[in-house]
Structures are given as C-alpha cells and as structure tokens.
Structure 1
C-alpha cells in the first residue's frame, strides 16, 4: 500500500513539472482586437452606403417642381425687397473700385416680382440658348443646323414662346416700343442687352442676360456662340441699353 501511494505522488509531481504554463491574454490586447473589428465593420458599412448612393438615379425636375422652385425664389426676392426697404440708406461696397459693377451687385435685391409662369418661360429660353453654345456664328443664320447671327439666336430662343414675334434685327428689337426698356441695375435673367459696336446711335449687336453679370451671344464671323462678361470694359464701353421681353402679357 505504501508503494502505491508513493507511485501516485510521483505521477502527480511529474505532471505539475512538465505541464506547459497557460498564457492569459491581457485585457488591453482583447480591447484592441475588439476596436479593430469595430473599425472594420464601420468601414464596410461606409462602403455599402457609398455603393447604395451611386445606384440612386438622378431624376430631373418635373414642370410642377420647377414651378414650386420658382415660387420659392419669388418669396425670397420679396423678403429681400422688404429688407432693403427697411434699410433705405444702405449701400453695397464697390467691386474692385469700379462703380460700373455696383448695379449688377444688387440685381437680386432690386429685381421686379416674377410670376412662376414667367419664371418657367425664362428657364425654357435660357435652356434653349445654352444648347447652342459652341455653334458657329453665321451671318443671317437662325437655326441650329445653319448656325446663328446675334439676332437670329434671339428669334430662335424666344419666338415660339411669345404671343407676338420679335423683329428680325438687333436694332429693330431695340427700337420696338412694345418692349419694356430697363436700366442696367434692374437687369433680370432673360432680358435683352444691346450694344453699339460699329455705329454710334443704333444697336448692331444683342445678347441675352443670364444673371451674375453674364450674357450669351453669337459674337461675329469666325467665333462661336459663347457666354461673355457684361462687366468687362469692352462691353461697358459699347453698352447701349436693355429691353425686357418676358412678361405675363407677352408669353403664350
């Protein structure tokens, strides 16, 4: 019996001596692993969201949505006019020291009220004009296939939307008593801007004001339809006046 107990003690002693020590992971290492896994999950989620956004189709605005936007712009302009009336002595600063830029700086505040129907027509006209960008100037041209001269471009963009057709020439439009004359500081998108380049007392060039001091034009032979800066010295030196076409009474 004593030999049996002695053998049992020897077995237990050898097991403790030769057994491999158990290593325990420190708590900090486990936390780092969990944080890394969390970051990977967040990264994968961001990738999935990005893919989902790419799959969303960009739907163009419907006419009703554009009219709603126009109404919102109208309300915003009305609020701006109220603010301007409350501060009648306020004057905006100069742009680079040039007083000629001052009228264009306040156009959004001084603009007349525009109905949603007129706003929609302005949108159509400007969209139609911008589709012709890059096409050649052609004297006498008035179609996309031919090319355009300055007044031909105006006729093409406007006449289908007006109850009364415009005169064919730039000076004819400028002299048309039924078109409302507007000051430069009151320019709105869609207004015609006239220039006297080769003659002193009549309009021999016309473009369409786009807002933000820009207008679109068919310039001259050898050049393409383009957007120009009304505030440039050249155009200010030759500026003759402006007329408003798009009113409630004029559009179809």
Structure 2
C-alpha cells in the first residue's frame, strides 16, 4: 500500500529574540480573535448595529475564553494535581526545589472555553441590553473559524496527537515518537472550517431569523465532530485510558443535547432591527 506519511518536526517557535519567543500557537490564537472581530464587524454593519459594542464584546470573549479554558483544564483533566497547587492555576510557573520553573499556561480545555464564552455572552447581553440568542447566533460563526486556527496551532505544537495508524496520510510526530499517527488536530481543523462555512452561508441566507437556531447547529456540529474524532486520539490523561468514553466525549454530550433543544425550540426573530 502506498504510504504518504508526513514526518512532522516543526519547531513550535517561529523565532526567538533573547527571552522573547514568538510561537505558532500564540500567532494563530491571536489570528483567531482578529478574524473573529472582523467577521463580527461585518455582521454588525450589515444589520445596522452600533459598532462601539464590538470592543467590549472582544474583551468579554478573550477573557472568558482564557479563564474558562484554563479552569476547564484544571477541573476536568488535572484536578488531582491542582487541588494541591491552586496558585498554579493562575501563575505561569511552578516552584520546584525552591526555584521557579516557567511553564506558561500549559493546558487549555475547549469545553471550559465554551462554557466561559456562553457565560460571558450572557453577562454581555444583560449589560448592553442585547438578546442573548441574537448575539450568540452570530458569534458562533466566528468561534467555528477560531476553532480551525486553534487546532492548527495544536498541530504546530505536536500536541493532542492521534493514535497509531497505518493510514497512508498518517503523520509521524518526531518530537513525540517514531510511529505514524492520525493527524487528529488536522481532522478537527478541517471539520471546523467546513462548519464555519455552513454556518456563515446559513446566516447569509436567513440572517438568523430563527433565534437560537445557528447556536444550536453550532453546538451539534462542533461537539458531535469532537465526539467522533476523539476515537482517533490518544488519551490526554492517564485516568481516561480505563474509560469507555474519554473526558472530551463525556463533556461533549450535554452540548449536543443543548444544541438539539435550541434547534427544535428556535423561535422566529422579530422582524424589526435591534437597536
């Protein structure tokens, strides 16, 4: 059988100047937010919404994404460690044998990020008197595109790797081991890009006339995709290896159920514009 294995050994750092290093992860993470902001601006202009709301919205979402994803990692995946080292949840270093070891904020869980974003949107909608489902239906389009860039960032970091496979398109993550593996990060990235395209086209056709519908579709497609692709991934934590479903799959189920509820209960939006 013809194999097209890709030997993947990309340095996660693009360049380093002294103590500063620009990493692909940081660049793609920032790009996700910048393009999301641009998309939201286009939608706000199209629907005659005040653009001055975009800057506070960006702040809400950035802060909520980082905090939610960090708390998700510590609570869902590494609670046994962090319950004894709570300061390390917020401090980007560890104290080992009396000396500091810089770690950055290693570990961000996407399910925690999703919870954080939904909570932030609820606060934003209340603060600025905008219907929650109206803003959520538009933001999820940008979030789906952001997911594409985040999974590409995981690929450049050689993290969240797939299980060994003989598939001809397998990647050999040389920084990890010499075995051909599923490029699970790439599977998710491409899936999220397709979901983004579908949601964006749906929005352009309907302009979100059924409030909550696009949010529901987002939750169904994103987390069903996550559930399915998890079968190709290595367990992120040792405790998951004995489970029938891993933590990522278990956490995806409530989001999918919520998505189906929103799709079936989606109410027609009022024809008048929101000001």
TM-score normalized by structure 1? 0.27
Structure with the larger helix share: 2
Kindly indicate whether structure 1 or structure 2 has the higher relative contact order, using CA contacts under 8 Å at least 6 residues apart. Answer: 2
TM-score normalized by structure 2? 0.25
